[in-house]
Chains A and B, each alone.
Chain A
Amino acid sequence: MLMRGAKLLIESLKHEDVEYIFGVQGGAAMPLFDELYDAEDIQLIPMRHEQGAAHAADGYARATGKVGVTLATSGPGATNLVTGIATAHMDSIPMVAITGQVPTQLIGNDAFQECDVLGVTRPICKHSYLIKDSSEVPEVVAEAFHIASTGRPGPVVIDFAKDAQFAESEFYYPEQIELRSYNPTTEGHPRQIAKAAELIKNAKRPMIYAGGGVVLSEASEELRQLATSTHIPITVTLMGLGAFPETHELAMEMPGMHGSCCANYAFTDADLVVAIGARFDDRVTGKLEVFSPKSKKIHIDIDPSCIGKNVWVDVPIVGDAKNVLRELNKKVDRKTDIEPWLRQINEWKAKYPFEYRQKGDQIMPQYVIEEIYNLYSDAMITADVGQHQMWAAQYFKFTEPRQWLNSGGLGTMGFSMPAMIGAQIGRPDKTQVNINGDGSFIMTIQELVPAVSMKLPLKIFIINNMYLGMVRQWQELFFNKRYAAVDYHDNPDFAKLAEAFGATGIRVEKIEDVRPALEQAKEIEDGPVVIDFIVAEEENVYPIVPGGQGLGDLVRNEEDARKGLSGWIRGLA
Chain B
Amino acid sequence: MTQGRHIFSVLVENKFGVLARVAGLFSGRGFNIDSLSVSETEDPNTSQMTIVTHGDEAIIEQIEKQLNRLIEVIRIKDITKENHVEREMILVKVAVDTAKRGEVLQIVDIFRARTIDVASESLTIEITGDENKLRAVIDMLRPYGIRELVRTGKVAIMRSTGK
The contact size tier of chain A is 10 to 19
Please measure, in the bound complex, the distance between the C-alpha atom of A123 and the C-alpha atom of B23, giving whole angstroms: 11
The answer to whether A305 touches B66 (Cβ under 8 A) is yes
The answer to whether A179 touches B68 (Cβ under 8 A) is no
Chain A residues within an 8 Å CB radius of B16 = 130
Please measure, in the bound complex, the distance between the C-alpha atom of A180 and the C-alpha atom of B46, giving whole angstroms: 11
Please measure, in the bound complex, the distance between the C-alpha atom of A304 and the C-alpha atom of B71, giving whole angstroms: 14
Residue of A nearest to B13 (CB): A181
Please measure, in the bound complex, the distance between the C-alpha atom of A409 and the C-alpha atom of B20, giving whole angstroms: 25
Chain B residues within an 8 Å CB radius of A122 = 20-21, 24
Q: How far is the CB of B107 from chain A (nearest CB, A)?
A: 45
The answer to whether B71 touches A309 (Cβ under 8 A) is no
Please measure, in the bound complex, the distance between the C-alpha atom of A179 and the C-alpha atom of B72, giving whole angstroms: 9
The answer to whether A118 touches B62 (Cβ under 8 A) is no
The contact size tier of chain B is 10 to 19
The answer to whether A179 touches B20 (Cβ under 8 A) is no
Binary flags per residue of B1-40, CB closer than 8 Å to A gives 1, else 0: 0000000000011001100110010001000000000000
Please measure, in the bound complex, the distance between the C-alpha atom of A161 and the C-alpha atom of B73, giving whole angstroms: 25
Q: How far is the CB of B104 from chain A (nearest CB, A)?
A: 45
Residues of A within 8 A of B (CB): 118-119, 122-123, 126-128, 130, 147, 179-182, 303-305, 308-309
The answer to whether A147 touches B21 (Cβ under 8 A) is no
The answer to whether B72 touches A305 (Cβ under 8 A) is no
Residue of A nearest to B11 (CB): A181
The answer to whether B71 touches A305 (Cβ under 8 A) is no
The answer to whether B71 touches A182 (Cβ under 8 A) is yes
The answer to whether A179 touches B71 (Cβ under 8 A) is yes
The answer to whether A126 touches B62 (Cβ under 8 A) is no
Excluding A122-B20, A126-B71, 20 further A-B contacts by CB distance (< 8 Å) are: A119-B20, A122-B24, A123-B24, A127-B71, A128-B17, A130-B16, A179-B71, A180-B74, A181-B13, A181-B71, A181-B72, A181-B73, A303-B69, A304-B65, A304-B68, A305-B62, A305-B65, A305-B66, A308-B61, A309-B62
**Pairs A–B under 8 Å by Cβ, sample size 22:** A118-B17, A119-B20, A122-B20, A122-B21, A122-B24, A123-B28, A128-B17, A130-B16, A130-B17, A179-B71, A181-B12, A181-B13, A181-B72, A181-B73, A303-B69, A304-B65, A305-B62, A305-B68, A305-B69, A308-B58, A308-B61, A309-B62
Chain B residues within an 8 Å CB radius of A179 = 71
